[in-house]
Structure 1
Amino acid sequence: MMKYVVLFAVLCGFAAALQMPCNNCKSSKLPTAKALPGATGTCNYVVVEPCSSQPCDLKKGTNVTFQVNFTPNQASSKLTSEVYGIINKIPVKFPLPNPDGCQGSGITCPVAAGQTYTYQDNLFIQNIYPSISVVVQWSLKDENGNPIFCVLVPARIVS
């Protein structure tokens, strides 16, 4: 009986994170915050936790973890992350406590061209945010401000 309880708990834990293909900002039909140059890297997949289906429910008062597995096409010594919530085609910048993509993200800079990395950061969903549908636009930029990746994640902010 105990092994079934443990198995159920493990399966529930896996259901809390959703791995999805990349909705790249340039190629997606979802709205973007602003015109961006093409990404200088390749996004392999995105993981959002907790999320069990698209659109992801982002619960107010909680942290949501975003992971992006990517391969840069060129080396970079500095990485900066930027997040927008796109609501009715209007971009709203989401504050990140640490936009430095080289610290606390699972990545050590410099990054090398052709090597695969997994970027991770948390986004706190504030209680003051309205309950609304939103497209999360997350990008990681190099030292020249060019996006290494830019992905779009359909979501809903919920109570």
Structure 2
Amino acid sequence: MRAPHALLLFTSAFLFVNAGNVRYTDCGSSVSVHSVSVEPCQGTPCSLTRGSTATTQISFQAGQYAGSSGTVEVFGIVRNSPVPVNLDSPQICGHVQPNCPLQSGQWYTYTKNMFIDVSYPAMPLNVRWVLKDSHGGQMVCVEIPIQLV
């Protein structure tokens, strides 16, 4: 009887740890990307409601000294064309743990809350996140399939 309980406990812990992790496509990262999560997501594509806030987390390992002035760019990929999304704070520092400066070999988690404007059309699209180092070099590039509802 203990084995089924242990299996249930393990399965529950696994699901809790992986809640929000999404399938993504690497689009040219120069560093190791460990995971990408979007809350609230329950599957692929990730359904996000217009007029709500979504939290994206990207865990990565800095490959070289990236400094304290890295930037973030976000694009909605519509009909294979990138459409820039304005960020209120496009700096990596202030949104990453552990804090900047980014050191070679260290693992970091970038976290960003974004309001999904109601003016965006309900549609499927990919969202591309690009994290650049202090020299403008691309460190992370991931695309996440999203369904705006």
What TM-score do the two structures reach when normalised by structure 2?
A: 0.83
Amino acid at match of 1:157: L
Q: Which residue of 1 aligns with 2:58?
A: 68
Q: Give the number of aligned pairs.
A: 136
The alpha-carbon deviation at position 40 of structure 1 amounts to: 2.7
Amino acid at match of 2:144: V
Change (3 A) 1:157 1:21: closer
Q: Which residue of 1 aligns with 2:27?
A: 25
What TM-score do the two structures reach when normalised by structure 1?
A: 0.78
Contact 1:76 1:109 in 2 (8 A): no
Contact 2:70 2:135 in 1 (8 A): no
Q: 2:134 aligns with which of 130, 133, 143?
A: 143
1:93-131 Cα distance to aligned partner (Å, 9 max, x none): 111111111013434211111111111001211000000
Q: 1:44 aligns with which of 10, 29, 34?
A: 34
| Distance in 2 (alpha carbons) for counterparts of 1:122 and 1:111 | 21
Structure 2 runs not aligned, ≥5 long = 1-11
Please show how residues 64-143 of structure 1 align to structure 2 within 5 Å: 64-77=54-67, 78-143=69-134
Q: Identity rate of aligned residues, in percent?
A: 36
Structure 1 runs not aligned, ≥5 long = 1-9, 27-38
The alpha-carbon deviation at position 20 of structure 1 amounts to: 3.2
Amino acid at match of 1:42: S
Q: Which residue of 2 aligns with 1:7?
A: none
| Distance in 1 (alpha carbons) for counterparts of 2:136 and 2:58 | 18
| Distance in 1 (alpha carbons) for counterparts of 2:42 and 2:22 | 10
> What value does the CA root-mean-square deviation take over the aligned residues?
2.2
Contact 1:40 1:74 in 2 (8 A): no
1:11-49 Cα distance to aligned partner (Å, 9 max, x none): 9xx5994213542113xxxxxxxxxxxx33111110110
Regions of 4+ moved over 6 Å: none
